Structure 1
Amino acid sequence: MRGVFRTVGWVSIGLAATALVMLVAAAFGSLPSWLLGFSPAAARLGANEQILAEGAIRTALLQAVGGILLVFGAVTAWRQMLIARGQQRIGRRAAVTEAFAKAVEQLANDDAVALRLGGVYAMDRIADDDPTERPRIAEILSAFVRDGACADGELPRDVRAGLQVLTRRDWTVGVDLAGARLTGARLPTARLANAFLAGTDLSDTTLRGAVLRGADLSDADLRRADLSAADLREATLAGARLSAAVADASTRWPDGFVPAEHGVRSG
């Protein structure tokens, strides 16, 4: 079908070009004299006046042809620009798809930490370059962190990198770190609004200035966490353990929540 439309388009262009050529040829031929014959005053014109009148008609015809060519050139340039933009979008999309596939492959590498780190940073770049990929990136990096943060001891370097990427920007979907073991993680000013953190071990974490508004923290372990200046409005804290957690006057809690009743200390 596209081939048919393309053929029709070229035929139309050819016919229009032929018509313009014929019009130009006629303008230098008898067309001005023929058009002048329709004027009632033509019979009263002298020879010199008739030559001048025909010249004026010829000039008007050529100006009309020039105007048509100008419009045609503008339309052609506009179409070429649209085609170029479409090709750029296709090329950019192909590049993003290739980079995404390579990053996923790097994240799945079990042997080299450097490759997994490269995958994390590649995902970060893709999220910056193509916001439409952010939901998928958030899902993949969340799974990467959950899988890598399930053992005792310090978080691996690649998992820490993935956690930093997840918490440094706002996502269109809630980050899902439910059940992850993030003990001692340093996450100041983390952006975890609407995150799924049910059952997550956040004991001894630094969450100073973190945005946890609307997050699901049910059954989460927040013991000894630094929640100074954190925003927990509308967060779910049912079953959360907060003994010895530190907060200050700028910490914002869900309506009706009394931090002192849950063992929270004032910093």
Structure 2
Amino acid sequence: MTRARTKLDLTQLLTLGAVLVSLVFAIPQAINAQATLEATRNQNAIDQQGQLTDRFTTAIDQLGSDELQIRLGGIYALERIAHDSERDHPTVMNVLATFIGENTQSTWSAADPGRRCPLEIPTDVAAALDALTGPHLLNRNRTKDQFDLSGLCLSRLDLPGADFSRFYIPDAELLHADLSGADLTDATLSNVDLFGADLRRTTFEEASLHSADLKVVNLDGADLSGAILAEAFLDRANLREAILIGSDLTDAEIRGADLSDADLARADLTYASLTNSDLDGADLSGANLTDADLTGAALAGADLSGANVTGVNPEQLRQARARTDPERPRCPVPEDSPVMPSNCSW
């Protein structure tokens, strides 16, 4: 029994020794293999970045070509790089924004001082805009005002559903644009001209639209919560069922507009002109209407609970609350006219 156990112990020791010897040789081999793998990975990363750099350089060169097809190739190449590389995404987007800005400037001249935009959007600019704002490049980190499109001059821009959130687009001329369903959250749009634009269901949460021209725009169902619309022009705008909770409309001109069933809770309408506007069924609870002009306005069914009406003419307010339909201007106003006739009485 003892001899058998001794033999068994010896066999186990020999086996263990063989395993240990194998490990002595295997561990260095494993370490070397891991080091080789890491080196390969690092080299692949370097090669990949080098390829991206080459692709980026080639695309930039293509953007400067005189031939449309080559410029389009450069735009599509940049779009692909932005999709493939998180690191290069911001750089690519800034390049596209610069390309758009340089090719959409006003054709203003001293001889013809009226501002002019291209009657048709150039094909390459349209492709760059699609790459810059399309849904395929969403969900990337974006800081406020990172992409500069200031002074953009594109009448009848057709980009429904585009993503312009946090873009910097002051002083742009976008007459009759179709941006319905677009996202302009936290965008800077001060002094922008959007006369006659289709902005149905567009999101402008926390956006800055200070002094913007929004006459005759369609903002039906749009979300302007917390937006800055101070000194903006909203004459004859359609704001039916629009959300303007907590928005700043101080000194804004909102004459002849449709605000029926709009949500203006806690909005600041100090010194705002609501002449001949329809606010039937609007929510003005907690709104600030200090010194607002309600001449000819209709507020029947509006919720004014907790609203500040300091400085509002009591008789004017009484008539407005009893009026189901707003009074209309005493002169006809062409729907496509960007300005009110000088003899038009509001």
TM-score by length of 1: 0.75
CA distance in 2, matches of 1:184, 1:49: 96
Contact 1:219–1:239 (Cα < 8 Å) also in 2 = yes
Contact 1:191–1:212 (Cα < 8 Å) also in 2 = yes
RMSD: 2.4
Give the equivalent residue in structure 1 for 2:307.
none
What fraction of aligned residue pairs are identical, expressed as a percent? 28
> Does 1:95 find its partner at 2:51?
yes
CA distance in 2, matches of 1:52, 1:138: 73
CA distance in 1, matches of 2:36, 2:82: 30
Q: Of the candidates 117, 126, 136, which is equivalent to residue 160 of structure 1?
A: 126
> Does 1:216 find its partner at 2:216?
no
> Does 1:125 find its partner at 2:80?
yes
Q: Which has the higher helix share?
A: 1
CA distance in 1, matches of 2:127, 2:165: 19
Amino acid across the alignment from 2:17: L
Contact 1:175–1:192 (Cα < 8 Å) also in 2 = no
> Does 1:142 find its partner at 2:97?
yes
Deviations 1:73-113 (A, max 9, x none): 3323322221111111011000000000000001111x201
> Does 1:242 find its partner at 2:198?
no
Deviations 1:11-57 (A, max 9, x none): xxxxxxxxxxxxxxxxxxxxxxxxxxxxxxxxxx98x9887765543
CA distance in 2, matches of 1:158, 1:201: 19
Give the equivalent residue in structure 2 for 1:65.
21
CA distance in 2, matches of 1:167, 1:53: 75
Contact 1:246–1:266 (Cα < 8 Å) also in 2 = yes
CA distance in 1, matches of 2:120, 2:180: 20
CA distance in 2, matches of 1:176, 1:149: 13
Q: Runs ≥4 in structure 1, deviation > 6 angstroms? A: 48-52, 256-261
Larger radius of gyration: 1
Q: 1:201 to 1:261 in 2, by over 3 A?
A: closer
Deviations 1:112-156 (A, max 9, x none): 011110110000000011011111111111110011112432111
Matches within 5 A, 1:1-267: 56-109=12-65, 111-150=66-105, 151=107, 152-168=118-134, 169-170=137-138, 171=140, 172-173=142-143, 174-249=146-221, 251-255=222-226, 262-263=234-235, 264-266=237-239
Deviations 1:157-208 (A, max 9, x none): 0011001111113352432111011211111111111100100111111101
TM-score by length of 2: 0.59
Equivalenced residues, count: 220
Deviates more, 1:253-262 or 1:239-248: 253-262
Contact 2:188–2:207 (Cα < 8 Å) also in 1 = yes
Report deviation, 1:64.
0.8
Q: Which of structures 1 and 2 has the larger relative contact order (alpha carbons within 8 angstroms, sep 6+)?
A: 1
Report deviation, 1:58.
3.2
CA distance in 1, matches of 2:6, 2:147: 84
- Note the residue ranges of structure 1 that are not aligned, 5 or more in a row: 1-44
Deviates more, 1:196-205 or 1:143-152: 143-152
CA distance in 1, matches of 2:186, 2:80: 27
Contact 1:212–1:233 (Cα < 8 Å) also in 2 = yes
CA distance in 2, matches of 1:130, 1:53: 60
